[in-house]
Amino acid sequence: MSRAGTAAPPSREELRQLALTEEEYGSACRQLGREPNQLELGLLGALWSEHCSYKTSKRLLGQLPSASPRVVQGPGENAGVVDLGGGLLCCFKMESHNHPSAVEPVQGAATGVGGILRDVIAMGARPVALLDSIRFGALEDARQRQRFARVVEGIGWYGNCIGVPTVGGETYFDQAYSENCLVNAMCVGLVEQGRLARALARGEGNPVLLVGADTGRDGIHGATFASVELDREAEERRPAVQVGNPFLEKCLLEACQELAGDPDLVGLQDCGAAGLSSACAEMAHRGGSGVEIEVQRVSRRERGMGPYEVMLSESQERMVLVVREGAEERFRERFRRWGLRCDVIGRVIAEPCLRVTDGGRPVAQLPLSVLVAGVPPRRPQSRAEPAPAASSPDPLLEVPPWPAEEAWLRVLGSPNCASSRWVWRQYDHQVGDDTIVGPGADAAVLRLRGRVQGLALSVDSAHPSARLDPRRGTAMGLAEGLRNLACVGAEPLGVTDCLNFGDPDSPLVMWQLEEAVAGLAEAARELGVPVVSGNVSLHNQYQGRSIPPTPSLGLVGLVPDLERLPRPGFCVEGDLVALLGRPGAGPEGVELGGSEYQRLASGQPSGSAPELDLAAERRAAEAVRQAVRARLLRSCHDCSLGGLGVALAEAAVWGGQGAVVRSPLAPPERPSPGWAAAVLLGETQGRYLASLDPGRLAELERALAAAGVPLAVLGRVGGEWLEVSGVARIPLAGARERLEGALPGAMAGPALGAGMGERAGPVS
Amino acid sequence: MVRLKPVVNDPQGLVVTEALHALGYDEVEGVRVGKFISLELGDGDPERARARVEEMCRRLLCNGVIEDYRFQLSEGGEAS
Amino acid sequence: MVRLKPVVNDPQGLVVTEALHALGYDEVEGVRVGKFISLELGDGDPERARARVEEMCRRLLCNGVIEDYRFQLSEGGEAS
Amino acid sequence: MTTRFGIAVFPGTWSDRDCAHAAELAGGEAVFLWHAERDLRGADVVVLPGGFAYGDYLRTGAIARFAPLMEAVRERAREGGPVLGICNGFQILCEAGLLPGALLRNQSLQFRCQPVWLRVESCRTPFLAGGEVGQVLRMPISHGEGRYYVDAGTLRQLEQEGRVALRYSEADGRLSPDANPNGSLGAIAGVSNAEGNVLGMMPHPERACEPLLGSSDGLRLFASALAALSPP
Ligand SMILES: Nc1ncnc2c1ncn2[C@@H]1O[C@H](COP(=O)(O)OP(=O)(O)O)[C@@H](O)[C@H]1O
Ligand SMILES: [Mg+2]
């Protein structure tokens, strides 16, 4: 097919708008043996975008281990799948919606949730839980408050409406995210073995069905939008913003549930980035066949839409199905019952290509070997950041900015450490009646109906010290997730990742990406957690400033016995308080690099990232799991952001009891002036803070000694104070006020800006 | 009066259209649902009020990403 | 145009008032937020259209417990 | 014969399965009632569950009230059959005119999912028949539009006739502004019709039916409807 009429090759500007380089265009022409026409060029631009093709990151992602006896489906389908035993499978995936959320926070975040739900629905699964990971600039800035509030509103709106509980997540604020907020959402679903659907098209002559919303001019070039820097021009690309309709998606969900497992269902796929074109091309590619689409059969919301717009529209709430020839009426009837429009828009063909016709006239034909698999891999330069000159000892040790008590209270009052209740009380976290542990603890726990087992879910990001060492910081993120699961006795089944990075054309960012993926691969291997699905979000930069490396990691684990969950926090007076794991590391036993304390005191991470011993992490997690199962621990919490000081305060506030403990570290002979605060607030890895009945101590000691995990009894639960002898002492009420009050306090300022908290539709 | 731009999907309008059809109002060809905001203004110069309301719409009342606005002043310092 | 009755408390209106004050629009004395619904009607007799729209408002578009409505027809079969 | 709970399913309903589970825990049997059919399928008790029927577009419950199923529900209510509307179900009952008042956007303008305490104000409805006035129950709310409003005259009437069934309170039964999560008039969380057979409430009893979920107070509503229907 030749470029109809116009023989001139596209201008550089035209290519730029499609986010294609001249080299890529040349490669496409060579592979096709001709020049693509206008529509074909648009299809190539979308499918060859970073967002759809992973052209920059693919070669790195191959390192990630994705196999285990439990893994049924690794990366490559809509979501990863692990086996829960007894014929039940669990699907999960995380995805970013960073760019759309920056432009239109409510709808951007909402459609992000809608998109990740559809990935799980497309597996034939029923979504049972959502989690989110969100990052913004500092809340002192009214714009950031507004954006944060509206993203939370959008996430809540979609999840609350559709009736899938949002059971966990994480919230983080730092200047570095002021111009590039991060909005990652994770969805977890359950499906019986025989009902798992796949996203493929095969069987010549089988009809291709489009179901759900009418196709409008929404988000044309959304895929390329997510693949270029956010700049002023983003304003002009605004039609890229889509308005979500959770109501329609709820109907889609229920209808797909009824149809999953139907022997006449060949393939099921959601329409995500690049709309119909990518859904159809990828389904056909997976099935080793081709697809022909007649654009006239696509039901449109607006008049005058051409093939280009129909094929590239990113209208939400649509799914593509391939069914056995002859079954189409039965399927359409099912969808009609749910009030959903469903049209046959094409058929499977033998020739492995995507063919588009407009009223019977062929308007595009591209081999899938080019369209899906032909993008030339990008290998931008990468250059390591020179290791920072370690200023030793740390200035915070030498010249502490605050007395230990004050430092402790400040860290408790930081929105990064304080409770996120302000966020999750706006999320329905209970619908479905299976939420045994909701947001606000370490891992969320969902029961599995008819079993003693449960699912444990946690979202954690790379440690902030990933700025100092992306490899180790990323591995620490996975280790933290593992600790969160261990606290409820759960064994990890798998992880889904969302790699949020800056400009891949910056050699430094490219290096960060390479390092982070290597760190994730190494940690996943050492900790025994296969990576089953994921997503890459690049170009999170503004005016040349990239975000810090921020991989988010969503873990799923299996809780063997819900009756054996520990209680939240310090709840029984007289119980022992114990620290499991190595009490400290580094000079004077304290590690401050990348800690929240350091961030508050100096604004940015410095020094070196905390040490990480993956083998010790794995041993400790296993030992903690065993102790939980043996009911040796009354409560268990890991030390993460804010170190021992935050863990102690949280355990005390959650359980309603204070504690008097000793310092886990003996003071050095001549302690630095900042030593006490550093003991409390340093972020040494691999530690758990537990409480236990004194009668169980001997057994716990035996178990941990056998496992080679250090144990230190620090003191006792009880009273109205939190006291670390010789270090600092604060009232329990003060700790509670900081933890509970920080975020509502920070949000109390006047809300400004467009939209007044109005959505496109109300919430019940 | 603030409403979704014509190219923006209005799921609410679609559902209301269907509901009206179900009730037998077949003559309804389309529905769009927007906001109606009434402001009560301290008396003042209508010229100036117009400029100020314009500004309020742009800065706060209307989300320019997806919405358009239109307003009129009526006597007694009301704008909507 | 559908809006909350004057006796019904409108927290959204209050928040918008505050936000406008924070932006320096002190002349704003009160804000109420309602709905603006535009219907596109198949051509027909304006008299009849008026009666039908009236009915739609009463039956569906407005909840008399909390809301009032008002509408106008414009040429080309639009009501709002 | 076991008592049969008919659980309404509108497009957009999401507490249907939770309500069915609760009905079964209470010892009843659950059947789902499809919005497009006029059939109560032999249900003894009708439950309109939570969700966002028809997207809650326009106003919560505004479109759902025209569903064919609602004709059957209206008739059943008139005959004195027990009808329970939870959250979105309460909103639908108000829109349908089976209960007075309306539910407005929360005073905070935010969605709220949190546990609340509820003081029982009247035991006239079959759903609270087993309890006592003044008793305090714990269960969650989960809504963005739950601020109960009714005009002053009707409110007086509701109070006089003992039709205010539940109020948001502190754990000890005291009323306080802090205990009212959405700004409801008179802290009203649930009201009944004049006969007492129709109850609407914003909180979710079906989410509080097992100790594992934090409370089993909600089970009482299902159990007492069941008890009221099966004479000893
Ligand atoms: N955006 C959010 N959405 C839902 N839950 C959240 C969110 N942010 C934080 N949480 C909840 O708050 C709790 C504490 O979060 P975090 O401090 O990140 O936990 P941890 O350090 O144990 O991973 C978690 O239970 C988490 O689920
Ligand atoms: Mg934790």
- Tally C-beta pairs within 8 A across B and D: 22
Complex ipTM: 0.91
Helix axes A732-746, A643-655, angle to 10 degrees: 100
What is the pLDDT confidence band of residue B73, given thresholds at 50, 70 and 90?
Answer: confident
Judging contacts by C-beta atoms under 8 Å, the chain B residues touching residue D57 are 11-12, 15-16, 33
Judging contacts by C-beta atoms under 8 Å, the chain C residues touching residue B1 are 36
A300 CB-contact burial (10 Å; exposed 0-12 / middle 13-18 / buried 19+): middle
Looking at residue B79, its pLDDT comes to: 65
In angstroms, rounded to a whole number, what is the distance separating the alpha carbons of residues A253 and A321? 14
Mean pLDDT across chain B: 84
CB contact under 8 A, A752 and C33: no
3-state secondary structure at position A746? helix
Residues A99/A151, Cβ–Cβ less than 8 Å: no
In angstroms, rounded to a whole number, what is the distance separating the alpha carbons of residues B80 and C3? 12
Render A637-680 in DSSP notation, one character per residue.
EE--TTHHHHHHHHHHHHHT--EEEE-SSPPPSS--TTHHHHHH
Residue nearest to atom 22 of ligand 1 (CA): A442
Residue nearest to atom 27 of ligand 1 (CA): A168
A44 CB contacts (<8 Å, ≥6 apart)? A18, A20, A28, A36, A366, A370, A371
Residue B43 pLDDT greater than 80, yes or no: no
Phi-psi region of A86 (alpha: psi -120 to 50; beta: other; left: phi over 0): left
For the beta carbon of residue A560, count every other beta carbon within 10 angstroms: 16
D167 CB contacts (<8 Å, ≥6 apart)? D118, D119, D121, D175, D186, D187, D188, D189
Chains that touch D (3 or more CB pairs under 8 A): A, B, C
Looking at residue C27, its pLDDT comes to: 87
Residues A353/A366, Cβ–Cβ less than 8 Å: yes
Mean pLDDT across chain A: 92
Read off the pLDDT of each residue in D153-177 and give the average, rounded to a whole number.
Answer: 97
Q: Give yes or no: D94 in active site.
A: no
Q: What angle do CA A309, A106, D95 make, to 5 degrees?
A: 100
For the beta carbon of residue A728, count every other beta carbon within 10 angstroms: 22
Q: Give yes or no: D206 in active site.
A: yes
Looking at residue A616, its pLDDT comes to: 97
Closest chain C residue to A757, measured at CA? C12
Closest chain A residue to C21, measured at CA? A750
**Ion ligand 2 contact residues with beta carbon within 5 A:** A 442, 484, 638, 640
In angstroms, rounded to a whole number, what is the distance separating the alpha carbons of residues A374 and A236? 30
Place of tokens 């001549």: A670
Question: Is the model more confident about A582 or about A388?
Answer: A582
Residue A431 pLDDT greater than 80, yes or no: yes
Q: Give residue A482 CA to ligand 2 midpoint distance, Å.
A: 9
Render D46-100 in DSSP notation, one character per residue.
EEE-SB-GGGG-SSTTTTGGGSHHHHHHHHHHHHT--EEEETHHHHHHHHTTSSS
Mean pLDDT across chain D: 95
The partner residues of D201 in beta bridges, in order of sequence, read: D86, D190
Q: Give residue A650 CA to ligand 1 midpoint distance, Å.
A: 12
Read off the pLDDT of each residue in A721-738 and give the average, rounded to a whole number.
Answer: 97
CB contact under 8 A, D149 and C60: no
Q: How many domains does chain B have?
A: 1
Atom of ligand 1 nearest to the CA of A424: 4
Mean pLDDT across chain C: 85
Per-residue pLDDT tens digits for A583-608: 999 888 999 999 999 999 999 899 99
Task: Examine residue B80 and state whether it is found in any structural domain, yes or no.
Answer: no
In angstroms, rounded to a whole number, what is the distance separating the alpha carbons of residues A742 and A651? 17
A648 CB contacts (<8 Å, ≥6 apart)? A577, A659, A661, A689, A722, A724
3-state secondary structure at position B73? strand
Sort strands A88-96 and A688-692 into parallel, antiparallel or unpaired. Answer: unpaired
In angstroms, rounded to a whole number, what is the distance separating the alpha carbons of residues A215 and A320? 13
Looking at residue A229, its pLDDT comes to: 54
Task: Examine residue C26 and state whether it is found in any structural domain, yes or no.
Answer: yes
| Longest pairwise C-alpha distance within chain C | 48
Residue B78 pLDDT greater than 80, yes or no: no
- Give which of D134, D109, C19 is closest to A152, Cα–Cα: D109
Task: Examine residue C40 and state whether it is found in any structural domain, yes or no.
Answer: yes
Residues A555/A484, Cβ–Cβ less than 8 Å: yes
Task: Examine residue A649 and state whether it is found in any structural domain, yes or no.
Answer: no
For the beta carbon of residue A666, count every other beta carbon within 10 angstroms: 11
Segments forming the whole domain that contains residue A289: 12-48+197-375
| Range D4-229: architecture per CATH | 3-Layer(aba) Sandwich (3.40)
Residue nearest to atom 13 of ligand 1 (CA): A440
Looking at residue C2, its pLDDT comes to: 87
For the beta carbon of residue D134, count every other beta carbon within 10 angstroms: 10
Chains that touch B (3 or more CB pairs under 8 A): A, C, D
What is the pLDDT confidence band of residue A628, given thresholds at 50, 70 and 90?
Answer: very high
Residues in chain D: 232
Residue nearest to atom 16 of ligand 1 (CA): A170
Residue A657 pLDDT greater than 70, yes or no: yes
Read off the pLDDT of each residue in A54-81 and give the average, rounded to a whole number.
Answer: 94
In angstroms, rounded to a whole number, what is the distance separating the alpha carbons of residues B34 and B12? 9
Q: What percent of chain D has pLDDT over 90?
A: 92
Backbone phi, psi, residue A467, to 5°: -70, -30
Q: Give residue A184 CA to ligand 1 midpoint distance, Å.
A: 13
Q: Give domain limits for chain D.
A: 4-229
3-state secondary structure at position D186? helix
Task: Examine residue B78 and state whether it is found in any structural domain, yes or no.
Answer: no
Handedness of CA A326, A327, A328, A329 (dihedral sign): positive
Looking at residue A18, its pLDDT comes to: 83
**Could you tell me the two tokens for D159?**
């109070």
What CATH number is associated with residue B65? 3.30.1280.10
Catalytic residue (choose from D19, D87, D94, D209): D87
**Could you tell me the two tokens for A39?**
């529509």
In angstroms, rounded to a whole number, what is the distance separating the alpha carbons of residues D119 and A76? 53
Residues A36/A3, Cβ–Cβ less than 8 Å: yes
C-alpha count within 13 angstroms, C-beta hemisphere, residue A142: 9
In angstroms, rounded to a whole number, what is the distance separating the alpha carbons of residues A351 and A311? 20
Residue A492 pLDDT greater than 90, yes or no: yes
The ligand with the least distance to the CA atom of A477 is 1
Catalytic residue (choose from D95, D121, D145, D206): D206
In angstroms, rounded to a whole number, what is the distance separating the alpha carbons of residues A481 and A611? 17
A462 CB-contact burial (10 Å; exposed 0-12 / middle 13-18 / buried 19+): buried
| Least-confidence region, from A280-284, C13-17, D95-99, D165-169 | C13-17
Residue A354 pLDDT greater than 70, yes or no: yes
CB contact under 8 A, A761 and D55: yes
Looking at residue A524, its pLDDT comes to: 98
Residues in chain B: 80
Position D37: which residue type? E
What is the pLDDT confidence band of residue A751, given thresholds at 50, 70 and 90?
Answer: low
Q: Which helix (H) or strand (E) holds A345?
A: strand A342-349
Burial A475-500 (b: 16+ CB within 10 A, else e): bbbbbbbbbbbbbbbbbbbbbbbbbb
In angstroms, rounded to a whole number, what is the distance separating the alpha carbons of residues A710 and A690? 13
Q: Give residue D214 CA to ligand 1 midpoint distance, Å.
A: 20
CB contact under 8 A, C18 and A756: no
Q: Which residues of A are catalytic?
A: 51, 97
**Could you tell me the two tokens for A105?**
């926070």
Q: How many domains does chain A have?
A: 1
Task: Examine residue B75 and state whether it is found in any structural domain, yes or no.
Answer: no
Per-residue pLDDT tens digits for A542-579: 999 999 999 999 999 999 999 999 999 999 999 999 99
Segments forming the whole domain that contains residue C10: 2-69
Task: Examine residue A238 and state whether it is found in any structural domain, yes or no.
Answer: yes
Residue B68 pLDDT greater than 60, yes or no: yes
Judging contacts by C-beta atoms under 8 Å, the chain D residues touching residue B33 are 57-58
Position C8: which residue type? V
The ligand with the least distance to the CA atom of A458 is 1
Looking at residue B76, its pLDDT comes to: 60
3-state secondary structure at position A46? helix
Place of tokens 């081709």: A290
Residue A760 pLDDT greater than 60, yes or no: no
In angstroms, rounded to a whole number, what is the distance separating the alpha carbons of residues B9 and A751? 26
